[in-house]
Amino acid sequence: MNEAKSIWMDGKLVPWKEANVHILTHTLHYGNGVFEGTRAYKTDKGMAIFRLQDHAKRLINSAKIVAIVPTYTQEEIAKAHIDVLKDNAFNGNVYLRGIIYLGYGVMGVYHKNAPVQTSVAAWEWGAYLGDEGLEKGIRVKTSSIVRNSTKSLFGKAKAVGNYLNSQMAKFEAIECGYEEALLLDENGMVAEGSGECFFIVRNGVLITPPSDSVLESITQDSIITIAQDLGIKVERRNITRDEVYIADEAFFVGTAAEVTPICELDARVIGSGRRGEITHKLQNAFFDVVYGRDEKFSHWLTYI
């Protein structure tokens, strides 16, 4: 991966190669920790973090859900993101990874006596699903693995342990020759990708699933807001897999994925098999926002 100069760890900027944890770190063994993915874009006015406060707030909320008491406030975590960007000389767009985890000190399933630690790392990272994917779209496979059930895990927490499910779904998709996975929920309705939210377009209407069993997505909320500003009708409702097959357009959104068209699901071509008109319109509008070219949404940007 693209290494940087430093990582923020519990209030200090530590050289990248010295940002280490003990092998008996509690989160490593038992999977209880929470994280965030945030992007910063190189705009004409300098580096800008997209929806920083929303990401910092969700990190704090995730910790509360999994019974971890943060040692830093939302404001302090947001400032840590800014400090990391200021200390590293980035030449391109940046991905930031904030994480609250349980460190070294105790073992055993009971976690409350483990020390709570916080870090923010940043590195240059381009399109998660490839620059070509942003234009031509990607091939997706419905996973044999369903999204974590709300009966057993907390879907509203961006929790470390939740992502084993996503890893296995992504692994299966790639091994089968696809670029990404689409997970259904326990009722057979579309939930999300391995790390992205999902949209389809039918008859000019933008449709996305409710957040019943998945994370409350900041990028999904951004796209819905942008779409409504553009006069596009939006529906939040359940989507079946076969409805995706006959959709006019489909795409993933997420901090990493941004707005990535889907050209195929389960060997069925979606629409024309290329990036659709509404997808393209939303993609352009989204990049105008994150690059600071749309003043209506300038409040979403924190300039460094």
Local structure of 269: helix, strand or coil: strand
**pLDDT at residue 85 is higher than 90:** yes
Residue 254's pLDDT band (boundaries 50, 70, 90)? very high
Residue 13's pLDDT band (boundaries 50, 70, 90)? very high
Residue 300 lies in a domain: no
Asked if 100 and 171 sit in the same domain, the reply is: no
pLDDT tens for 158-175 read 999 999 999 999 999 999
**Count of domains in the chain?**
2
CATH code of the domain in which 286 resides: 3.20.10.10
Asked if 114 and 142 sit in the same domain, the reply is: no
Asked if 141 and 111 sit in the same domain, the reply is: no
Residue 126's pLDDT band (boundaries 50, 70, 90)? confident
Asked if 152 and 231 sit in the same domain, the reply is: yes
The active-site residue, picked from 64, 158, 170, 281, is 158
Q: List the domain range (segments joined by +) for residue 197.
A: 131-290
Closest-CA residue to 193 (of 238, 231, 141, 154): 141
Integer Cα distance of 96 and 82 in angstroms: 10
Give the pLDDT of residue 130. Answer: 78
Give the pLDDT of residue 31. Answer: 97
Residue 286 lies in a domain: yes
Asked if 114 and 174 sit in the same domain, the reply is: no
Q: Are 247 and 278 in contact (CB under 8 A)?
A: no
Residue 69 lies in a domain: yes
Which residue is listed with tokens 């779209």? 137
Give the pLDDT of residue 181. Answer: 98
Summary mean pLDDT of the chain:
96
Residue 101's pLDDT band (boundaries 50, 70, 90)? very high
Angle CA 143–145–147, to nearest 5 = 100
Asked if 26 and 146 sit in the same domain, the reply is: no
Q: Is 158 a catalytic residue?
A: yes
Asked if 211 and 117 sit in the same domain, the reply is: no
Q: pTM of this prediction?
A: 0.96
Residue 296 lies in a domain: no
Asked if 112 and 151 sit in the same domain, the reply is: no
Domain end position, chosen among 124, 149, 174? 124
Share of the chain above pLDDT 70, in %: 100
Domain end position, chosen among 72, 96, 124? 124
Asked if 112 and 203 sit in the same domain, the reply is: no
The torsion angles phi and psi of 18, rounded to 5 degrees, stand at: -105, 5
Q: What is the secondary structure of 36-84 as a DSSP string? A: EEEEEEEETTEEEEETHHHHHHHHHHHHHHTT---SS-HHHHHHHHHHH
Average pLDDT over residues 219-237: 98
Domain end position, chosen among 84, 101, 124? 124
